[in-house]
Structure 1
Amino acid sequence: MKYIYLILALTGLSFLQASAQTARPLSGTVIDSTKLTLPGSSVKYKDELGDSTVTSTDVNGKFTFPAVKGNKITLTISSIGYQGIIKHYTIPADGKAVALDPIVLKSSVRQLGAVTIVGVNPVVFKEDTVQYSVSAYKVRENAPIEDVIKKIPGIDVDKDGNVTAQGKQVTKVRVNGKDFFGGDVQSATKNLPADVIESVQIVDDYGDQANLTGIKTGEPNKILNFTIRKDKNYGYFGQATAGDGRDLLPKEADADVKNENRYVGLLNIFKFKGDQQIALLGSINNTNVNTFSYGTPTTGGGGGGFGGGGGGRGNALRGGNNGSTTNANGITNAHSIGLNFRDQWGKALSVYGSYSFTDNTTFTNSTVIQKNNSLDASTSNQQSQTTSNPTNHRFNFNLEWKPDTLNYLKVTPTFTYAGSDVSSVDNVISQRTNQSGQPFTNLAYTSTSTTNSVSPNYGLTGFYNRRFKNSKRNLNIGFSASTGYTYQFDNPIYNYTAGAGTAPANQVTYTDSKNHSYGVNGSYLEPIGKVSFLELNYALNYSFTSSDKEADTAYALDPTRYHRYDLLSNRYQYTFTTNRFGLNYRIIEKKYNVTLGIGGQPAKLDGVNLFTNVRTSISTFNVIPAASFNYMFSRSQALRFNYNGASNQPTFDQLQPVIDFTNALYPVQGNPNLKPEFSNNLSLRYNAFSFQTGNIFFINANYTQTDHKIVQNVVFYPARFTAATLAANPDLKKYQNTNLVQYLNADGYYTYGANVLYSKPWKERRYTLIFGSGISYTNNVGYTQTVDSLNNTSPLAKNIAKTLTVTPQLRFRVNINDVIDAEAFSRLSLNKIDNTLLTAGTQNTNIRSLDLGVNGKNYVWKDWTFSYDYTKTLNYGYDSKLNVKNPNIFNAYVERRFLKDYRGTLRLAMYDIFNENTGFSVTNTGSIVTQTNVNRLGRYALLTFTYRLQKFAGKAPSNPERGFRGGDRPGGGPPGGGMGGPPPGGGPM
């Protein structure tokens, strides 16, 4: 009996002790091995009393259990992409709050078939960077990184592979912080395999100087940076594709779209050996795809990184165009090859560069309608057939020298060469409205023209940064130099069928132009407190441009010798010099930074016509304030504001005073008295991401106001002058029936816009709903004048062209790995143009289009893929003469993987099955509204076979004889990892 009493007594004491325990808060932080906090981690609590509960870490990786009673507790922590861990704790029974030491999770790598998935947080916000984890947007093995980019909210990829991020065009691409193929965007997005990419970063890039010092001025460029998984830094990847097909067009098809064979041949080879990375891309096809683009020359970069896989333009896996109908105008035969190289030479010198070459032939058939907002209303209809053969070479090489943590030097030589042979046939009819409001034909002609040109360009840029020891002082100096030449031959021949002839019937012109530019800049950074800095900066830029143009109007009569026609010939040159100096003040705190600055820029433009010896000199001075504010609410929420001013010099064509009659209907005459433009730019961006729900929200707004905007003044000459007027002014004869385009400076130009996007995923991102919209408004300025039959010129008539564009869209994605990857979408485009100057025969423009469609891939029987891409477009508001239709664009393919490790892929594809692919567009300059209908590649079938080989290792193999030589740094990757690029530590951070 006494034992029973003893047991009861002990039980009572235990109960009293438990009851006496006081609930207290328990908190902690979950981090990874790099001390980065892990938001959204799951933390499960359990104690010896049997109590248990589960919570998640907040945006700062912290968790809290507000009322725990146990003394012996167990925490189970897990996070996507990290190894789970169980931690046991014994905490004091004193009732005080408990703060645990940080809990460290290790990264987890899991093999799923042939795909390595490294899990990290799906989105991370930094000051100028939004980083997306590739593993959060699953695609099938061997898919190009473009397939991932298409799934990322806030990034759009059109059917030609052009990338837009947060409403702004992406201008450059990097791999591990180094330019890939000179920064060529599509060479990377179409060819880098998603399997080897760890993250996709959208970066607001202010240049090398800003990256080193942290002081950012000017308007940033949007660039893509891909970081490579460390387990893919050693190995090789190679693939080849061959394809054959045929147009499937109706028998009545025009000669320019006759049934031809379609072919594609692609070869991609990539080798990775730690810091050494080599990529070779080659392509031949007549399916309107290009491996490289040369629209915007890039400077100061090239190479760096590596490639693999395939996609879209030049995509071996996609048979040439990613399973979609290309939006490229015309029909192109494309030939290209390129080499990209990157290596580390010793501890201090990093080198990277690239060479690329293209040789294309494009046939274009277009209908163009131009309406002039004028006092004497006119409309021109033009049918054109053009064959062009552009040839491009691009070479750049970068040397980055970093002997220690204090010094950094980068030197980049570049060379580009652009050649072009163009021939075209045009049929033009110009109509005007008489005093009774009836249209009549005042000019009609047929023309054939030939143009040949070559443009070599040489450049050199350099940048040196010095960080002073034991201080935050910083000095940097940059320089640039370039020289370029253009040699061009033009021979337009006109056959006038109505109205008096304007341009000479047979004109030959030779143009010899050159441009030399030099620049130097520097800045000095001085700390004035623990978190504040002053920066003094200066920049000098000088450019010299000259053009010798000689016209021969009697070539058809006597081709044995040259006859210079002085009225159409010209020798003009000008120099443009700017000096910019400024002072910036910056505060850098953990959660925010502020920059305030003021600068001044005197500019001088000197020009001289060497035929007449008439000189012009324009001097301006602009005060350039600068301001930026960045606030990081958390790792998932950020606000950014930026203001800057910038000047823009006139182009040579806008300055040279001699009339260019290459286009008989729209001759052009420059204005040597033009002032440089000056624009004020403001931008605002807010980003938010929820680690708990995965919701993403972006909003971007911008405003630009431009002083001395260079605008057109269109002078309309009558169909005929009186005999007395022509006798007194014989030169007027060549102006009859023309719309002479001149240039003026004008105030009143401004534009603003905004982009908003909301993305909501659920069911572990299997389903995603995305809403986005863009809106832009432009207040453009243009002028018109009319010359009457007596040679009297009317006063300037000002037209304000108000262009409003709204583009809402709704997308729904389904992504179930190895089952389906599909998207349904709707896009509405509203383009409304109102002109304040309207006369008889002119009207405002209101063009709308609605796209409804679905695209995707279904994976069946493990090795089969069925792909489909359908879009129905409804167009409204175009001119009836353009014969604009409402096309159904439908593409589909079936694909079979086979051989060991899926090395082989066989695909049968059909493009534009309904044969309705045509391009339509509208533009507005303030004086002229242009609507265009242009041909595109029509229906065809293509059968392709792709074979690939690959081998990767996470570190240098221990046996050099098995494929790799020794001497590589274990683990691979660029020194410092991450984005690479210029060394850290140079700035105030």
Structure 2
Amino acid sequence: MRVPVRHLILVISLLFLVGLASQGQAQVRGKVITGTVIDSLGIGLKGVNVYLQTDQDTLYTVTNAQGIYRLRGVVGSEVKLIYSMLGKERQTAFVSLYEHDPSPLVLSPVVLVAGVSFIDPVQVLRTVPIVHKGDTTVFNMSGFSYMKQSLLEDVLRSSLPGFNVLRDGTTFYNGQVITSVQVDGRKFFGGDVLTATRNLPADYIKQIEVIDHYGDVAEIKGIKNTTPEKVINIILHEDRKKIMFGQATAGGGTNDRYLGSVGLNKFDRGQEVSIIASANNTNTSLFTFGSPDGAGGRSASLSDIGDYADQADGLNTVNSFGVNFSDNVGQRSTLTGSYSYSQRKNETKGNSLLRSTYDGYQITKADDFTSVSDDRTHKFDFELNSRFKNKDLLKITPSMTLSRSVRDNKRNILLNNFRLRNDGWYQDSSTIERPTYQLNALYSKHFQDPRRKLVGDIQVGYKRHDKVENVSEQYVIYDTTGTAPMISRFDQEQLVNQYDATKSIRGAISYVEPFFDHSLLEISYEYDLTNIEMSRRVRMPGEANIPIIDSLGLNYEYLFASNRTGLLYQYEPNKRFRANLGFGVQPLRLSGAVANDTLQYRYDNINLIPSAMMRYRFTDEFDWQFTYNGRNSQPNFLQIAPIRDNTNSRLVIVGNPLLRAEFVNRLSTILRKSIASKGQYLELNFAYNFTSNKIVTSKTASSDETVQEVSFVNTDGYYELKSYYTFNTPIFNDKFNLETTGNLDYFNNIVFVNAERSLTRQYLFAQNLQLRYSWDEYFESVFNANYLLNQANFELPRRQKIAAHSALFSLGGRGYLSNRFMLGAEMSQKLFRGYVQDITDVSPTIINTYVEFSFWKNKMALLRLECFDLLDQNKNVGVVTEYVGNDIFESRNNRLGRYFMLTLNMRLQRMPK
């Protein structure tokens, strides 16, 4: 579809007007003074330094090639001007300003004659915006320009290099998702990133630390041989560590859209209390839980950067509430805790197409569906940190999550296989309850030698899954195989009661002993036990005394146990080089048993697990690292349960109790280069993962049926290659920032199709470019260009290739029209090629605009009028694609459409007396 040029012109014009208005607003504040600096021959001098001082302000500029200078925004009544240039005598001039005269003040030419200049020592103090300290990157907020009264999320999105924030609040740094957040070293709402970024004002923050976190145990031991996660620590200004602040928002719009939220916070130097609440039907979340997909949408990726469409499928109503506290307990302990509640009601409508290709025939499934769900989640988190008198450390972290989901799905289905056609519907209603309990405890023994460590770690967990499901389906079957067409009917109803409980315990102990001057030797032991109990009963709906269908029911118990003993040696002669080499032996056992059955399923094995890590720091800003490690991955319950699940009669799932645990090997290398003085950063990353005993699907179907059966088997040969890079740098000056990221991934997928091994070679190539412009606090804009290629080469049942392309171009900006008015506009254009045309034949143009008016004391109140999706093209563009094995799946779902909304926001703040 051709990009509508008029839409692009509209948004570019809006942004251009915003920029001009912002520039004009900046220019009209105060008086304009202009003049000329010449030499003794009357020729204009280029590069003369012009300093202006008043009782209210200080300004600086230099003359152009004609010797002309211009100073804007001059406030004050008495002005002192100083003209200086190397090799010329300094001149000084005094001018009086009159407020009633708005016209620019043109001064008489100033003559600089030749002279001898003595340069005095000058000390220039400048905040370095970004500082790299090993595994920590520090952003000094005073080194960046951003609009005042912005929330942290807005500043991360528009001003800080390396950060990318999607519309749903998912935050990336240099391509990695931020997984947790702290405020002054303490978890905020259990480490929920979305809660922090959408509630903390940016001007309260002194620094943001981005930390490569290797886990609490690794950090204490000083041996970092695990894969790190990205976490951020927010450091507040000293005068904001004792303050009360908050906000309240209320709004209403067209199509019955509404938004209401309130947040109250009290910080008192270590004692923190926060309360937040929200109710809306605009897909606005306060927490990153509440649905199976986290914030309510699909899994986020870097290809969504700059997409101003709403990524959440369906229409959502979200209600949220949360309380967080943190306090000192005595002199050596801190306690943090939080409670969060979220309810998400969702209604999704859409259509999908699934093609399963076999040798000589193809099963095609097309459906239109409606899905309604109501998900409610309660979450409790606590953390106790204690440092005893003898400097021993104890950390206890209990958590509890209680969730309940009610779902109702209806699908109209058309199935085809050569001369066989099924026309019917499928409906299921279910209630699912999932309580989860977790207790983590860590103890570290202190020794006189700080390098000697004794660390114990235990994790105890229990989770249960209770499901009551009512399934019904009906098909009319048309068979044209013979000379005379045959018509038959299929009806099925099932009431399924399923219960499964998982109990787990993991204990580990490590002793680290200094070995010579620059070495450490670690001896470790780890025990892991997982027990699953499952009960499934199936009967026909109706009276309670209807007999249970024994062939579809099951009482099953599964056990996974492993013992790992390891030895690791680390050598670190200086701060530039560090290497460690380890080896572990891990006996493991998988066993399963069916109640009232003498048949036992058991698998024993011994894994030999090497590990290695080497890091070399060439300079303080240039380092390289290589890592190898291995781990086990257990089969899930669906894969191992020895049962035939035909609740979907056209896709029967059969578990395999003989499955073995996977063993995943990972080799990765990373190269990082930064130049703090230039604000540049480059990162190159490559990883190779290969899996032994990979659990893959095995699909079977016959040419005269539309029923497919899926089971699971172990196989070798699966591997993946992943590469990634990111580069960001200022260009021209500090006001422009260019960031480019990209990845190329290859997956060697394996499936079995009618007992034949088949390879699906999948390539994913993505390239993202972002250009940001920020003009102090007056105007900011961003341009994005993204490209994604998803290519799959199928080996069986016949060789074929599918290449799906998508591209995204977006432009957004906002700026002040006056001291109190702000205008913003944003547009994104998405293009799809290579997909099934009747599913994804869309190229949506999304345009969002808003205007804000600030008023009251210190602009503490804000009135906002916004329009989301001005062209109403977002409502039917939720595209999903999957290419695995012999399946090609594409789907399109409805989303939130156009609405206008007026909101009032009040900021609350109380400083200590």
Pick the TM interval, shorter chain. Answer: 0.7 to 0.9
Q: Which residue of 2 aligns with 1:496?
A: 475
Q: Deviations over 1:174-198 (max 9, x none)?
A: 2233322222221112222211222
Structure with more strand by fraction:
2
2:247 alignment counterpart: 239
The alignment of Structure 1 onto Structure 2 pairs a total of residues equal to: 778
* Matches of 1:651 and 1:630, distance apart in 2: 36
Matches within 5 A, 1:340-359: 340-359=324-343
Structure 2: distance between partners of 1:330 and 1:822:
30
Q: Deviations over 1:394-440 (max 9, x none)?
A: 0011111102363000111111111000001111122224xxxxxx4
Q: CA deviation at 1:502?
A: 10
For 1:385-534, list aligned pairs within 5 A: 385-404=370-389, 406-433=391-418, 440-470=419-449, 472-498=451-477, 505-534=492-521
> 1:461 offset after TM fit, Å?
1.1
Equivalent position of 1:609 in the other structure: 594
Q: 1:73 to 1:872 in 2, by over 3 A?
A: closer
Between the aligned partners of 1:331 and 1:595, the Cα distance in structure 2 is 51
Q: Which residue of 1 aligns with 2:806?
A: 849
Instruction: Supply the distance in 1 between the matched residues of 2:253 and 2:819 (Cα, whole angstroms).
Output: 27
CA distance in 2 between counterparts of 1:141 and 1:863 reads: 12
Q: 1:403 to 1:883 in 2, by over 3 A?
A: closer
Aligned partner (choices 855, 858, 874) of residue 901 of structure 1? 858
AA of the residue aligned to 2:181:
V
Q: Is the contact made by 2:420 and 2:706 (CA closer than 8 Å) also made in structure 1?
A: no
Q: In the alignment, which residue of structure 2 is the partner of 1:183?
A: 191
Judged with a 3 Å threshold, the aligned counterparts in structure 2 of structure 1 residues 137 and 924 are, in CA distance, closer, same or farther, namely farther
Q: Distance in 1 between matches of 2:327 and 2:886?
A: 52
Q: Deviations over 1:433-470 (max 9, x none)?
A: 4xxxxxx4433320221000111122211000012124
1:138 partnered with 2:97: no
Shift, 1:227, TM fit = 2.4
Code of the aligned partner of 1:378: I
CA distance in 1, matches of 2:391, 2:614: 28
Q: Where does residue 780 of structure 1 map in the other structure?
A: 749
Unmatched 5+ stretches in structure 2: 1-85, 89-117, 298-304, 479-486
Instruction: State whether residues 307 and 810 of structure 2, in contact with CA within 8 Å, keep that contact through their aligned partners in structure 1.
Output: no
**Native 8 Å contact 1:281 1:337 kept in 2:** yes
2: CA distance, partners of 1:396 / 1:897:
37
Cα distance in structure 2, aligned partners of 1:162 and 1:891 = 20
CA contact (8 A) 1:124 1:636 kept: no
Contact 2:417 2:703 in 1 (8 A): no
> Any idea what the Cα deviations from partners look like across 1:859-888, whole Å, max 9, x if unmatched?
221211111110111110111231531110
Indicate whether 1:273 and 2:301 are aligned. Answer: no
Aligned-partner SS, 1:377: strand
SS in 2 for 1:667: strand
Match 2:362 to one of 377, 394, 398: 377
Q: Residue type matched to 1:217 in 2? A: N
Measured after TM superposition, the shift of residue 587 of structure 1 is 1.8
Which aligned pairs between 1:926-945 and structure 2 lie closer than 5 A? 926-945=885-904
Q: Tell me if the contact between 2:355 and 2:365 (Cα under 8 Å) persists in the aligned partners.
A: yes
Q: Distance between the aligned counterparts of 2:227 and 2:336, measured in 1?
A: 26
1:803 paired to 2:757: no
Measure how far apart 1:149 and its partner are. 2.0
1:276-310 residue CA offsets vs partner (Å, 9 max, x unmatched):
11111110000112111227999xxxxxxxxxxxx
**Per-residue deviation, 1:550:** 0.2
Q: Which amino acid aligns with 2:473?
A: Y
Q: 1:283 to 1:837 in 2, by over 3 A?
A: same
Say which of 157, 170, 180 aligns to 2:165: 157
Q: Tell me, yes or no, if structure 1 residue 127 matches structure 2 residue 134.
A: yes
Q: Partner of 2:435: helix, strand, or coil?
A: strand
Structure 2 equivalent of residue 63 of structure 1 = none
Matched position secondary structure for 1:78 = coil
Tell me, yes or no, if the aligned pair for 2:750 and 2:758 is still in contact at 8 Å: yes
Quote the Cα distance in structure 1 between the aligned partners of 2:615 and 2:134: 7
Give a deviation string over 1:187-214, Cα, whole Å, max 9, x none.
1122222112223333222211111111
Q: Which residue of 2 aligns with 1:226?
A: 234
1:688-727 to structure 2, matched below 5 A, reads 688-719=673-704
Pairing of 1:883-922 with structure 2 (within 5 A) = 883-917=840-874, 918-922=877-881
Q: 1:503 to 1:128 in 2, by over 3 A?
A: farther
Residue type matched to 2:466 in 1?
Y
**Map of 2:530 onto structure 1:** 543
Q: Match for 2:288: what amino acid? A: S
SS in 2 for 1:881: helix
Deviation at 1:637, TM superposition (A): 2.3
Report the AA paired with residue 548 of structure 1: S
Alignment correspondent of 1:80: 126
RMSD: 2.5
Q: CA 1:923–1:581 in 2, change beyond 3 Å: closer, same or farther?
A: same
Tell me which residue corresponds to 1:722.
none
Cα contact 1:454–1:488 (8 A) shared by 2: yes
CA contact (8 A) 1:359 1:390 kept: yes
SS of 1:359's equivalent in the other structure is: strand
Q: Contact 1:367–1:932 (CA<8 Å) still a contact in 2? A: yes
| CA distance in structure 2 between the aligned counterparts of 1:199 and 1:443, rounded to whole angstroms | 62
1:674-707 per-residue CA deviation (whole Å, 9 max, x = no partner) reads: 1111111122222222233222222222221111
In the alignment, residue 207 of structure 1 is paired with which amino acid?
Answer: G
Amino acid in structure 1 at the alignment position of 2:271: Q
Give 3-state SS (helix, strand or coil) of 1:77's partner.
coil
Cα drift, residue 595 of structure 1: 1.4
Q: One-letter code of the match for 2:890?
A: Q
Distance in 1 separating the partners of 2:886 and 2:443: 47
Q: Distance in 2 between matches of 1:515 and 1:80?
A: 56
Consecutive unaligned residues in structure 1, runs of 5 or more: 1-49, 53-71, 82-120, 248-260, 299-310, 314-320, 434-439, 720-735, 786-795, 963-989
Match of 1:167 in 2: 175
Mapping of 1:633-648 within 5 angstroms? 633-648=618-633
Structure 1 residues 808-849: Cα deviation after superposition (integer angstroms, max 9, x where no partner): 12222110012211011211111111111144xx94321101
Aligned in 2, Cα 1:761/1:446: closer, same or farther, shift over 3 Å? same
1:568 paired residue number: 552
For 2:203, the equivalent position in structure 1 comes to: 195
Indicate how the Cα distance of structure 1 residues 810 and 595 shifts in structure 2: closer, same or farther if over 3 A, else same. Answer: same
**Hey, what's the Cα distance between the residues in 2 that align with 1:568 and 1:861?**
70
Contact residue 406 and residue 469 of structure 1 kept, 8 A: no
Using the size of structure 2 for normalisation, the TM-score is: 0.82
Percent of paired sites with the same residue: 28
Structure 1 length-normalised TM: 0.76
Letter in 1 for 2:861: G
Residue 804 of structure 1 and its aligned partner are, at CA, apart by 0.8
- Structure 1 residues 560-605: Cα deviation after superposition (integer angstroms, max 9, x where no partner): 4242001111111101011111111112222221111111222111
Q: 1:762 Cα shift?
A: 3.9
Alpha-carbon separation, structure 1, partners of 2:589 and 2:489: 36
Give the deviation of 1:640 after TM superposition. 2.3
Structure 1 CA distance for aligned equivalents of residues 794 and 713 of structure 2? 19
Question: 2:224: which partner in 1?
Answer: 216
Deviation at 1:378, TM superposition (A): 1.6
Deviations 1:236-291, CA, capped at 9 Å, x for gaps: 111100000013xxxxxxxxxxxxx0000000111100001111111000011211
Aligned to 2:318: 334
Distance 2:598 2:371 in 1: 38
Go from structure 1 to structure 2 and tell me whether the alpha carbon gap of 1:884 and 1:178 turns closer, same or farther (over 3 Å shift).
farther
Distance 2:292 2:808 in 1: 33
Alpha-carbon deviations, 1:358-397, whole Å to 9, x = none? 1111001121222224324222112110000001010011
